[in-house]
C-alpha cells in the first residue's frame, strides 16, 4: 500500500502522517518507556475528535502490556457521523454500497503502523470509546480485522447480531443473504470485549435512533442487551462465541478513567 514503507521508529509522544494512497490520516503515537513494544494498540477517539488525548489516555495500557499506541484522527470535515460512528454503511436511512464504507481503514492503519516500525508480525489490539467505539463496532461486524483483542467501550449504539435489523445497526440490507450470515458468524467469533462503565447511565450524546433505543435506555443497558443477543445468536447457530462483557466499576462516560482501570488493563492482556 502507498506510504507503508519502513521508517525510523517513532519516539514516545510523536505523530506521523499515514498516507494510505486514497486518504491520509494524522496518527498520534506512543511507545512504552519501560519496555520494547511487542504489539500494537490502535485507539479510536470519541466525539471530540481528540486523538492525541486518547493516545495519552491509553498510556497506562501501553506501559502495562508493552504496546505501541497508534491513535488516528478521523476529522469531522472528512468523517461526519455517518462516515465515522456509523462506518459509512448508511446515510439518510439508505444502506450504501461497500465501495464507500469506511470500516476498512482500521486494519489499513494498523498495517501502516506495523510496516512503519518494520514489525509486520506484531499482534494488533483495537480499542474504541464512545464515538470511536461505535465505529469499532461497525469495523468488527463488517470488516472483521485480524486482532488479538477488540475492546469496545461505551458506544452510543452497537451493531446488533441480527439479519433483520438494517445496517448500520444490524446486518440487514448491507450484504447478500449468504454473505450477511457469514459476516454475522465471523462477528460472533471475534475476540470482542464489551467494556461498559457501571455508571455510564446518562443520556448525553446518546443516540436516539429507533434501532439504538431498542438496545436500551443508556450505554450500560445497551452493552448488556447486545451481549445477550450475541450469546443467543451464537447458541442458535451452534457457532463459537468469542465475546466477553466487562462492567467497569465506578466509571461513567470517561475514556481516561475507563482506560486506567484494572478491569480494562486485564481485558487487553495478551
Which residue is associated with the grid cell 448491507?
A: 174
3 pLDDT band, cuts 50/70/90, is very low
Structure confidence by residue, pLDDT tens digits, 109-123 = 999 999 999 999 999
What does the mean pLDDT of the chain come to? 95
Predicted TM-score (pTM) of the model is 0.94
The CATH class for the domain spanning 15-267 reads alpha beta
Tell me the three state secondary structure of residue 8: coil
Structure confidence by residue, pLDDT tens digits, 4-44 = 333 445 556 799 999 999 999 999 999 999 999 999 999 99
Domains of the chain by residue range: 15-267
Tell me the three state secondary structure of residue 270: coil
Say whether pLDDT at 73 is over 70. yes
270 pLDDT band, cuts 50/70/90, is confident
In the numeric block, which cell numbers belong to residue 210? 429507533
pLDDT given for residue 10 in this prediction: 52
pLDDT given for residue 139 in this prediction: 98
pLDDT given for residue 13 in this prediction: 75
Strand order in the sheet with 124-129: 15-19, 24-30, 67-72, 39-44, 124-129, 149-153, 192-197, 244-248
Amino acid at each position: 500500500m502507498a506510504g507503508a514503507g519502513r521508517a525510523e521508529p517513532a519516539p514516545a509522544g510523536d505523530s506521523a502522517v499515514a498516507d494510505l494512497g486514497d486518504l491520509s490520516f494524522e496518527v498520534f503515537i506512543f511507545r512504552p518507556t519501560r519496555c520494547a513494544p511487542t504489539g500494537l494498540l490502535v485507539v479510536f477517539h470519541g466525539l471530540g475528535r481528540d486523538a492525541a488525548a486518547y493516545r495519552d489516555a491509553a498510556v497506562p495500557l501501553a506501559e502495562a502490556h508493552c504496546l505501541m499506541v497508534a491513535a488516528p484522527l478521523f476529522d469531522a470535515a472528512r468523517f461526519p457521523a455517518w462516515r465515522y460512528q456509523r462506518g459509512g454503511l448508511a446515510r439518510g436511512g439508505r444502506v450504501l454500497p461497500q465501495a464507500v464504507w469506511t470500516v476498512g481503514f482500521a486494519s489499513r492503519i494498523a498495517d501502516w503502523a506495523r510496516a512503519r516500525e518494520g514489525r509486520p508480525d506484531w499482534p494488533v489490539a483495537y480499542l474504541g470509546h464512545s464515538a470511536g467505539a461505535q465505529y469499532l463496532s461497525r469495523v468488527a461486524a463488517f470488516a472483521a480485522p485480524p486482532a488479538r483483542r477488540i475492546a469496545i467501550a461505551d458506544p452510543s449504539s452497537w451493531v446488533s447480531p441480527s439479519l433483520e435489523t438494517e445496517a448500520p445497526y444490524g446486518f440487514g440490507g448491507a450484504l447478500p443473504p449468504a454473505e450477511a450470515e457469514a459476516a454475522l458468524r465471523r462477528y460472533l467469533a471475534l475476540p470482542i470485549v464489551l467494556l461498559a462503565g457501571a455508571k455510564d447511565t446518562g443520556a448525553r450524546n446518546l443516540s436516539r435512533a429507533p434501532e439504538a433505543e431498542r438496545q436500551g435506555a443508556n450505554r450500560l443497558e445497551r452493552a448488556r442487551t447486545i451481549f445477550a443477543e450475541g450469546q443467543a445468536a451464537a447458541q442458535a447457530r451452534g457457532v463459537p462465541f468469542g465475546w466477553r462483557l466487562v462492567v467497569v466499576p465506578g466509571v461513567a462516560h470517561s475514556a481516561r478513567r475507563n482506560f486506567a482501570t484494572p478491569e480494562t488493563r486485564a481485558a487487553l492482556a495478551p
